[in-house]
Structure 1
């Protein structure tokens, strides 16, 4: 990729030529798994490159190779990688230490695993500064840490620098990681999925911040993501990866508006659009009769939590209905109370006040014995299948457990039915005895759906079921839910922070903020003619695939 006009004589900031990364283990003819195969690209100073592709395409492997983070892992790395003129793969350790955090810095996907829970955030940033500026005093390092936090938009930075990671929200933790990356003023920042699982407004803030920092400092940026909407307004060039190879690369506007590779076209076609309804809308094919009584009705729900003697109200006066065969989307930012509402609706959590009626019966008035037959009709698909599946039990046994609890089948019948459910969600029944770690994220989510279907539910509450999946896997899971809804007559409550996904699957939508529903109505009406300022703000923060429109939206947000 060429430098911009006027920079033709400037040496590339990043040069990658013939990069190949092979991990040990069975999988390929040479005795390893080839994660990256013959990749080449360049990045000029001050420019931004987006590396996109599905999970397993090799994106993060490339990002790690830029700082030679594969050294000592057993991975075989070949080719040439130069960052700031340094031959990274051949550099001795002292030079690598100066490169990492000094010349180039990385922002990782999960800030909780990158930040030490035992130390204050400011101390951790100051430590990075002192490693690269050994002559700096503790006072100077702390001042630099506070300045870095202030620079990335942390309010009252001097006080918050003394906070530990668990005292920060998800968006604040990601800002803290960016501050840590910037404290030594690197020439290059590598951001590996920095906005995955963040709600749309926080995601927009992080992307705007990276853009402003690049504009203000002239740093180069490599943004690794599976979300094409994220790269549209954030980078100059885009490189599309599949199975370790580059299938297409070029200016972001050209690649997104007129993709040459079939794979890029497939990725773009799989992206849910907030400005257009997918036709046919997969999960909205079943319509409830308007005069049919609600399947589920919640009235005046309130939920309070008490921590360290302090009372926090998570949900306040929430009322909603779901009719047979209907999908209700529940959207809002992190902390708005969506998941708490979902758990109360299926009685995984009792409300502090209010009622939940299912088929006319007050669930709160039922004892455990009377409630047990209804639990099978109210099922939940959780956000993280890794934490909701027992790693010591095969996926088949996890799906079979609800069947055994019902006691309606003998053991052979239970296994047969569990295999039928695995096949129904698109998994090979022969995988019955495999364990969760042997599956991809999308496959594990299918296992979670199969387990939820085992007791033959009438209402499925899906809590962020596709938030961490790449766009093609996300589309597959959404289509699967749509097929199940049509064939089984399921009602659904679809909880998500991704407004484009919610529009693609829902009949009606309820928008939550600070524990309350601030707007509710038919999904197309709410999206096309939002009334509440909060809803308008959420829609304005959704990434779009047109770089020019994305740039205009960023300028409007900056001026607000």
Structure 2
């Protein structure tokens, strides 16, 4: 069977390491295509003739850039494309089930029973209205209908304890919003493990997590494999994540397999140019900061922004929380200050205060020598154009009902420019400056990739002509090559426009690549600050040392050694 506009896939020899009955996963000539428009006359092929196998107890990492087809493959293993209008060809066998030929009843037995899937965003997979424990118990009873509600709740507590949730009997009654990002991901793992699956499919399970929580989740996956013998299929764009987590790596590009081998072979001696490009784009904590080598020629003697004793509290008297506590720092003309720390350390709150999107509860904030910490909105208005922010998620910061060109033009109009032709011309110039085609002016955010949307966000921030740009996790959800492109763009803008940047990130390797100086935050305070090379090369604070030790590395042996040290600690 073929789909309109889709040719039959090429025939390639399957990568078979054993007899079919001994395999946990067997994929042969898998092709997946999605309709390109509503009339069904054309289709976009997301996966093209892919073949691979996975033996019981083994782990396979599927890596590649956004759009390479890796998540489409993961979904095909549980036939999640059924009923979506997608065309699927080839053979997929998982835990003894011919997935494409299975009826709905057989699929229900497979999904969550013999094979389970963990997605990138746990919030989209957890019901916000129900307690975590009840949701796990419900999944358990679907596959174990003879089990009582009481026994199912006990099982929920048991698996929550297994994935490292402290005080599991009490936390089982919590709802998803009461858990941190790392705890929600653990809860999702507990749900997946409730029925003791033979295969766990993890689709970008650590993308939005800081390095220490990421290391904990990856260590947990390793331990679960060792204890239960389950197989693991790990989908990620982060090559450092697969280094210490899988046995084999499959590199994808444009829906096809580019390279497939053991993790040591692929990461140490890649054969294909594309794999080499991916590895070269991975930021490393031991590399010389690229942006620091290309420092703006104007020098950094002048202090642009100075914070002293900044404090920010939330809530009332009885439930008051201090997010930022007595923070003092300076940002000089033309420099990049990196701000790192775990989730909840206060980085984003501090960044918002620096551009006065949040009012400080206490402390002083001086910009170009003037105290702006207590200025009213009316008095701040003339300075708003000079203090801009690029947000982590361009989807939530861009109006989906306005074209990208109009989103970039809005700040120009807000500044008082009423010449529509000039505004549109300037917006087109800014789109072109960040690497987007000005002809896309009238397109909408949903028509662009994550990296392209981030470029739109940067163009919009540049529109008012800022002198300070606070970038809050601007590359956290991007693949390594897109990440490198955005960092290169920021470096160019910094050199050409003389911008000062505050670069907020949980990825220490990214911060290393872009920063002149680094400030490390923990619990709302700065625990260490200094030139990038000194902080990374000779960290003084135990917390900084712990962060650096948790950063994924590309050497599987080093990664395994670090995991052993964490286990022994």
Same fold (TM over 0.5): yes
- Give the conservation status (yes or no) of the 8 Å contact 1:499–1:542: yes
1:101-120 residue pairs with structure 2 within 5 A? 101-120=112-131
Residue 446 of structure 2 corresponds to residue 437 of structure 1: yes
1:196 and 2:207 are equivalent in the alignment: yes
Could you say what secondary structure the match of 2:315 adopts? Answer: strand
CA–CA distance in 2 between the matches of 1:308 and 1:91? 58
**Is residue 60 from structure 1 mapped to residue 48 from structure 2 by the alignment?**
no
**How much has 1:139 moved relative to structure 2?**
1.0
Give the secondary-structure state (helix, strand or coil) at the position aligned to 1:49. strand
Q: How does 1:349-388 map to 2 (within 5 A)?
A: 349-388=358-397
Residue of structure 1 equivalent to 2:7: none
User: Aligned match of 2:46 in 13, 35, 46?
Assistant: 35
**In 2: Cα distance, 1:255 partner to 1:332 partner:** 31
How far does the alpha carbon of each residue in 1:403-431 deviate from its partner, in whole angstroms, 9 at most, with x for none? 11122461111000000000000000001
Partner of 1:327: 336
Give the C-alpha shift of residue 111 in structure 1. 0.4
Q: CA deviation at 1:437?
A: 0.6
Question: For the Cα contact (< 8 Å) 2:20–2:26, is it kept in 1?
Answer: no
Aligned to 1:391: 400
Alignment correspondent of 2:241: 230
Q: What is residue 314 of structure 1 aligned with on the other side?
A: 323
- Gaps of at least 5 residues in structure 2 are 1-14
2: CA distance between counterparts of 1:231 and 1:307? 44
Q: In 1, are the aligned partners of 2:59 and 2:248 still within 8 Å (CA)? A: yes
Distance 1:46 1:282 in 2: 45
1:24 alignment partner in structure 2: 35
User: Aligned to 2:278, which of 249, 255, 267?
Assistant: 267
What is the CA distance between 1:307 and its match in structure 2?
A: 5.8
1:527 partnered with 2:525: no
Of 306, 310, 317, the match for 1:301? 310
Measured in 2, the distance between the counterparts of 1:282 and 1:30 equals: 51
CA distance in 2, matches of 1:27, 1:118: 35
Distance 1:288-1:28 versus aligned 2 partners, 3 A rule: farther
The structure-2 alpha-carbon separation of the partners of 1:348 and 1:283, relative to structure 1 and needing over 3 Å to count, comes to: farther
* Mapped contact 2:295–2:335 kept (Cα < 8 A): no
Q: Are the counterparts in 1 of residues 25 and 94 from structure 2 also a CA contact under 8 Å?
A: yes
| Aligned mate of 1:411, from 420, 423, 440 | 420
**Corresponding residue to 1:281 among 291, 298, 302:** 291
Q: Secondary structure at the match of 1:102?
A: coil
**What value does the CA root-mean-square deviation take over the aligned residues?**
1.6
* Aligned-pair CA distance for 1:218: 0.4
* CA distance in structure 2 between the partners assigned to 1:216 and 1:325 by the alignment: 52
Q: Distance in 1 between matches of 2:20 and 2:352?
A: 60
* SS of residue paired to 1:136: coil
Separation in 1, partners of 2:191, 2:84: 25
> Cα deviations across residues 179-235 of structure 1 (Å, max 9, x unaligned)?
000010000000000001100000000000000000111000000000000000000
Distance 1:2 1:553 in 2: 32
Report the secondary structure of 1:404's partner residue.
Answer: helix
> In the alignment, what sits opposite 2:355?
346
Q: Please give the residue correspondences for 1:166-185 in structure 2 after superposition, counting only pairs within 5 Å.
A: 166-185=177-196
Equivalent residues of 2:314, 2:322 under 8 A apart: yes
Once the two structures are overlaid, the 10-residue window that deviates more, 366-375 or 64-73, is: 366-375
d(CA) in 2 for partners of 1:518, 1:266: 36
Measure, in 1, the Cα distance between the counterparts of 2:358 and 2:286: 35
After superposition, what is the alpha-carbon deviation per residue over 1:428-486, rounded to whole angstroms, capped at 9, x for unaligned? Answer: 00011111111100000000000000011100000000000010000000000000000
Match of 2:562 in 1: 553
* Residue 515, structure 1, aligned to residue 536, structure 2: no
CA distance in structure 2 between the aligned counterparts of 1:28 and 1:553, rounded to whole angstroms: 53
Residues in 2 aligned to 1:108 and 1:9: alpha-carbon distance in whole angstroms: 28
- Aligned pairs for 1:82-231 (under 5 A) are 82-231=93-242
Question: Mind listing any 5+ residue stretches in structure 1 that lack a counterpart?
Answer: none
Partner of 1:487: 496
Q: CA deviation at 1:276?
A: 1.6
CA distance 1:284–1:153, shift in 2 (3 Å): farther
Is contact 2:60-2:246 (8 Å) kept?
A: yes
In the TM superposition, what is the alpha-carbon distance from 1:288 to its structure 2 partner? 6.4
Q: TM-score, normalised by structure 2?
A: 0.95
SS at structure 2 position matched to 1:433: coil
TM-score norm. by structure 1 comes to: 0.97
Contact 2:16 2:52 in 1 (8 A): no
Question: Following the alignment from structure 1 to structure 2, what is the Cα–Cα distance between the partners of residues 542 and 526?
Answer: 15
SS of aligned partner of 1:342: helix
State the 1:370 CA deviation.
2.8
1:284–1:506 contact (8 Å) kept in structure 2: no
User: Which of residues 34, 51, 66 is equivalent to 2:62?
Assistant: 51
CA contact (8 A) 1:283 1:483 kept: no
Cα gap change, 1:283 to 1:119, in 2 (>3 Å): farther
> Which deviations, in whole Å up to 9, do the C-alpha atoms of 1:276-316 show, x marking residues without a partner?
225x43785226646x3310000000000006941011110
